[in-house]
Amino acid sequence: MTSETITADAAGTWKLGDLTVSRIGFGAMRLTGSAAFHLGTPSDRQRSITVLRRAVELGVDHIDTAAFYFSQLRSANELINSALSPYPDDLLIATKVGPYRDYHGEWGTSARPDQLRGHVEENLRQLGRDHLDLVYLRRMRQESVAEHFGALAELREAGLVRHLGLSDIEPRHLAEAQEIAPVVSVQNRYGLGDRAPATGEVLRLCGEQGIAFVPFFAVAGQGGARGATTAHDAEVLAVARAHDASPAQVRLAWTLHQGPHVLAIPGTGNPDHLAENIAAGALCLTDDELERLNALHRAAD
């Protein structure tokens, strides 16, 4: 499929609270280097800036980032600020708090509730904003999210945060958070043949309640933070050939076909891959293709 002229509009839209976004957005993690975080080779700064600006030109209005997305020489938030500030009025920038890293790039334990304001403010400083459109609480194996989510709800009341989301959760955590403040979006690991055990139920609940479901590693699959998988099943390759598409595009299209509330945030530091990812929003899978891919997904349990 030709990708150069296809824009994010092809995937349709969804409403995150009072903010309407295209269902295919952009994840910023891979802007910082050849692999996640401090691993691999630092990215070329100008190339990363070019990717961000091109994403907006192609209609992307939803960028997912975090203050802990940085490598030896690059910070995703700083790149976003340099490339896109002053920001378009219709651009939603989502970030997440909970995990954190020190200046050497080493991971700390989960942030305490009383530390979350400082983490939100760090994102604000790096991005050059006076409020954050959407902040996810990334659960770090806590049994309860109430105390942490309550701290973010206070920041929402103070005007530092516009909307709240949850990440890496089970259904009980969604219900717990909703007793405190509205949840507009959930991020869980999910992709063709790869998902957390409780994610299917979370996906269903989000659809029933009008909450966006934003999977991470939808393209990377088992590669996770290391990068996109190169091991594709025969069914994925067959569907890709039928549409003159790449396996990554098929994976993204399958993800978007899981419900109108499902968004995609594929990340890349490569301008060509960016155009391919966005074009996946225009790939329409047949009922037969969907059933074959669904069977592949079920078989991975």
- The phi, psi pair for 97, rounded to 5°, reads -135, 165
Please name which of 46, 42, 129, 70 lies closest in space to residue 94, comparing C-alpha atoms: 129
Q: What is the DSSP letter of 210?
A: T
Contacts of 276 (CB under 8 A, 6+ apart): 3, 246, 248, 249
Q: Are 180 and 150 in contact (CB under 8 A)?
A: yes
CA 35 from chain centre, in angstroms, equals: 16
Cis peptide before 260 (omega within 30 of 0): no
CB 257: neighbour CB atoms within 10 A?
Answer: 16
Q: How is residue 256 written in tokens? A: 């978007």
CA-CA distances (angstroms) from residue 267 to 20, 139, 197, 219?
Answer: 20, 21, 24, 9
Catalytic annotation present for 190: no
Residues 294 and 179: their CA atoms lie apart, in Å, by: 34
Residues 7 and 19: their CA atoms lie apart, in Å, by: 19
> Which residues are paired to 137 by β-bridges?
97, 166
Q: Where are the alpha helices (DSSP H) in 58-198?
A: 76-84, 116-127, 146-157, 171-178
Q: Are 51 and 268 in contact (CB under 8 A)?
A: yes
Q: What is the DSSP letter of 42?
A: B
Catalytic residue among 69, 100, 136, 190: 69
Q: Which residues are catalytic?
A: 69
